[in-house]
Amino acid sequence: MNSESKKRKKRTILALALLLFAAGISALYVYSRGSCSFLFCRLAFDYYMIRETKELDEQSRSGLSSTYYFTSYYLNGMLSAAEGTKDERLLRRVMHMIDTMISTAQPFEDHGRIYKVWRPFSITADSAVPRPNLHYTFQATVPIARAAALIMTDPAWKAKYGRSADRYVAFVDQSIIQYWYHSQLKDEIVWINPDLFPIWNDNGSNLGLIAAFLYRANGDRLCLGISRRIGRAFRSKLSPAKTGWIWENHTIPVGSDTDNVPGSVGNQEGVPDTSHANREAFLMTSLYESKILFTRRDIARMANTLTDTLWNHSEENPSFSNYLNGSDKAYRVYKEPGMNGSIYHGWALLGGYSQKAQRVILCVLKAILKGRDNPSLERNASSYGGKLGLCGHLLKNWALLQEQKN
């Protein structure tokens, strides 16, 4: 090979190397959305997805609403990540899990009609006949309705996966709307009836979420009405507290809500506890995003509840109060300050409407990865889907914040 040929070969190799380098930089920029923090969360999410794959597969095959109750935390984090990144591969991973869960549903006869529902079937104070568990089923079903809404509101995904979304809607409709709402509850939303439930009940929040997502998926007017009635009932409970909100302020009997757990002291403050209030933060953001109820100002005030009342204002060692009013009294078996301060499955979604809330949630993830140790961080890190949920919701939040800038 002569000297000129060698030079041409070197130039070709160099050009190819530069081209590959540029392609890699371009792909990294797209993957990271041009943000180091976004890249950090996306890499963390991918890492936790790999670690949780075996557990998620086992859970999805269980056929138990009592298991799917906890699986919902993972799924909602994954759906947020799919929404924030538009990662179709991740969407298909969620759909595979949902398909498996639906396939495990068992036929159940009630008043001559067959429903497909999840075990376990048990006798309750309301029924001498074994039947599905309402509380577990409602929460387990939320991400299925949400997946349908996500698919049907994205034109590209609707074209590819619309039939799957229709199946999800049909499953949720027959198991929640037809069986529970029509057949068992007789078209009454019992949790917004103050004579039956004077204190806000999270079954109402989960039904509101399911109905809102079904409405987004197919425009069902019945579901719009259900979600709007639940939202209005919750809104009537809200009172300003500092820069945020509070509800059921000292209406909860002290010592109640023990959950029949040995050693539980129940609610010691008389206001909602931080962990359970995740559902109401989730409900408010979902009703707002569905254009059903609440204003941008309402959501911003809810974000202030997180950042100004619950958070300890430390970025290096963040912690969250046990109760909605900032109290750190014991709740149930969570007796250390901040031990009931889980924020990963509802409160974390408020980062899409508050830069400060987003920064706080990111600080939580970073502190966990740095090995910081306090009861709040332990609770968020060790709970079902905690780390995956934090990452996923952060990714969705960045997409929302970017939309607002544009």
Domain containing 121 equals 67-236
Contacts of 402 (CB under 8 A, 6+ apart): 33
pLDDT score recorded for residue 26: 42
Are 231 and 269 members of one domain?
Answer: no
Task: State which residues of the chain have pLDDT below 70.
Answer: 1-34
| Residue 10: inside a domain | no
pLDDT score recorded for residue 5: 67
| Residue 60: inside a domain | no
Last residue of a domain, one of 236, 263, 285: 236
| Alpha-helix residue ranges (DSSP H) falling in 236-315 | 278-289, 296-304
DSSP letter at 267?
A: B
pLDDT score recorded for residue 22: 43
Helices (H) and strands (E) in the chain, counts: 13, 6
Are 329 and 263 members of one domain?
Answer: yes
Are 135 and 202 members of one domain?
Answer: yes
Are 113 and 203 members of one domain?
Answer: yes
* Residue 382 CA: distances (Å) to CA of 65, 261, 386, 390: 21, 20, 6, 12
pLDDT score recorded for residue 13: 62
| Residue 25: inside a domain | no
Are 155 and 209 members of one domain?
Answer: yes
Are 225 and 279 members of one domain?
Answer: no
DSSP E strand stretches across 105-258: 106-110, 113-117, 122-124, 127-131, 239-241, 244-246
DSSP letter at 252?
A: S
- Count of domains for the chain: 2
pLDDT score recorded for residue 35: 85
Q: How far apart are CA 158 and CA 148, in angstroms?
A: 9
pLDDT score recorded for residue 129: 84
Q: How far apart are CA 159 and CA 93, in angstroms?
A: 18
Are 153 and 200 members of one domain?
Answer: yes
Q: What is the pTM (predicted TM-score) of this model?
A: 0.92
DSSP letter at 273?
A: B
pLDDT score recorded for residue 1: 57
Are 337 and 393 members of one domain?
Answer: yes
Are 118 and 151 members of one domain?
Answer: yes
| Residue 322: inside a domain | yes
Query: Would you state the structure tokens that stand for residue 89, as one six-digit string?
Result: 């591969």
- Please name every residue paired with 240 in a beta bridge, in sequence order, or none if there are none: 245
| Residue 41: inside a domain | no
| Residue 268: inside a domain | yes
